[in-house]
Chain A
């Protein structure tokens, strides 16, 4: 299955590393550590595909790779969810509506949404993995007639960590998709849904046709191994498993070496990979 790519950044004669200016037009807190951001570029729309990322920066603090969470239809005003873990993500959290940030991108290989037409889609998202997966989920829902069954599984550590709670509630209600959710533990919060790691949702699906279904898996590094084992139990072949991986990144364009995983550059060859193509790489999963 061939990689899909959006318009990569316009050719910039002066520097590959020169960001464009984006204005923060909307921002809200989702959890104590995660906030939702909506940005607009000055002169163009970002032109991304589902699953791509951008390098976002605050001058004086630095740059960080962040997934684009909105579907391509929302590219003029695109969305991100940023978890505060350090200096750049901290500075981004301090931005106020009307402030500007630097953007380079979009970068990376996208989810192969066109090639998946006519198939069942099984989205498995853990924690902040929902952020990149959301761009593909919303794309699939916008093009609902192009796909057969759409199944969405979401799991996170505890109820307070749930992202996009409005969307989750809507997906729960929709008749034309299957949605299941789980938390690792309730941690005292009121919760009536499943408790247990995300793989405990797989048996609830009953019979899924592994030949006609593609699994799109995004989550923390520890999740992949267990989800892949679960999918194997359901007779999924490796080329029907699509993953998005996170690595440390600096340049985003295949030069700096930080994201390298064996011979692959996660920033250019990924972050989206077909499992079949990387399962032999010792540094992958």
Chain B
């Protein structure tokens, strides 16, 4: 829509104002009605040696010059545990949906995490629309940023294209003391009302160069378009036994992945036994009983088969379904796997090097 700029100090003081301001009644989204609510402002902050997304107590905590966050921002839209319904135990008449997300702003989301959010948006809006996820998304403003630091496992340039712009409301490019602000949606524009935005005087070429300044150390070893067919042909590749034999089935790779959204649903009852809720929690296809059925049948019982499923889901199934590679190349799985095997780059390289 438009390109402007703001000094970093002005940006921070604007965020601090916003943190204590109320969200306007008319937006974002349609579900903030009746009363105004405070923006919940989330940003990237430093925690020990790592970076995490966390609620800001002050814009001064913001740390937008970062390599990668431990967890992706999906937790704000698909929380590790969320209540879907409330009820009184044994009374089916009492089921009631729980879905009142407040307005939330996320600051400093890297482009690959935005690409992952766009994939989740597709998954939760297409077919049967999941209002729990979609309301959270409607009530959110996403302020993206291009990476300014290396992360040794990242390979996003080889797997994402421009789809991250479909999730972002605003993109920032850090340029000596300023952020170049690209406003991509009406929601983003509304959010920035009152900010000390200035006319942009950086050249587009300089902005482009700054946005792409960090080059990935890694890349997928074949063009993504070829991956689905390559996987299709290699269902019985020795890689699955090889990696299955090393995998601990710990599910870390799924936990940290921005495009893993499988979930479990179960009921919880208060100690009083008078109230209960149906909750949805993150689940993982790497766990042994993920596909176990009532009479003990499990068609994905082996670790190799589960490892393969995770890779196929990223490189083939989601790609064929949504037209975007199901892995955004954040590298978190590679970084978090104790066995050192989870990264798609490593897996595809192994497959290419060991034909069958």
Contact = CB atoms under 8 A, between A and B. Distances in A.
A binds B: yes
Interface of A: 8, 12-19, 21-22, 57-63, 83, 85-86, 89, 99-102, 220-221, 246-248, 250-251, 253-258, 260-263, 268, 282-283
Interface of B: 84-85, 87-99, 123-124, 127-132, 235, 261-267, 269, 276, 278, 280, 283, 285, 290-295, 297, 299-300, 305, 309, 312-313, 316-317, 320-321
A15 B84 contact: yes
A63 B85 contact: no
A33 B88 CA distance: 28
B299 to A, nearest CB: 5
B263 A256 contact: yes
B267 A60 contact: yes
Nearest to B89: A60
B92 A250 contact: no
Nearest to A85: B294
B45 to A, nearest CB: 31
Which of A15, A19, A247, A282 is packed against the most chain B CB atoms within 10 Å?
A15
A59 B87 contact: yes
Given A15-B132, A262-B312, A263-B320, A248 B92 contact: no
Contact of A247 (B84, B285, B293): B293
Contacts of B280: 17
A15 B135 CA distance: 10
Which of A63, A100, A220, A260 is packed against the most chain B CB atoms within 10 Å?
A260
Contact of A58 (B90, B129, B285, B292): B90
A59 B128 contact: no
Nearest to B123: A255
Given A14-B97, A14-B131, A256-B262, A83 B294 contact: yes
Which of B85, B123, B129, B261 is packed against the most chain A CB atoms within 10 Å?
B85
A257 B87 contact: no
A54 to B, nearest CB: 13
B269 A258 contact: no
Contacts of A102: 92, 95
B321 A263 contact: yes
Nearest to B91: A59
Nearest to A22: B92
A48 B347 CA distance: 44
Nearest to A246: B293
A61 B267 contact: yes
12 contacts: A15-B84, A15-B85, A15-B97, A17-B97, A21-B95, A59-B276, A100-B91, A247-B291, A248-B293, A251-B265, A255-B128, A283-B299
Contacts of B321: 263
B320 to A, nearest CB: 6
A248 B292 contact: yes
Given A59-B88, A283-B300, A89 B263 contact: no
Which of B90, B263, B264 is packed against the most chain A CB atoms within 10 Å?
B90
Nearest to A58: B90
A18 B92 CA distance: 10
A256 B283 contact: yes
A100 B224 CA distance: 51
A86 B294 contact: yes
A17 B131 CA distance: 9
Given A19-B95, A83-B294, A261-B299, A62 B266 contact: yes
B53 to A, nearest CB: 23
A262 B99 CA distance: 32
A250 B263 contact: yes
Nearest to B308: A282
B266 to A, nearest CB: 6
Nearest to B317: A263
Nearest to A64: B294
A261 B94 CA distance: 35
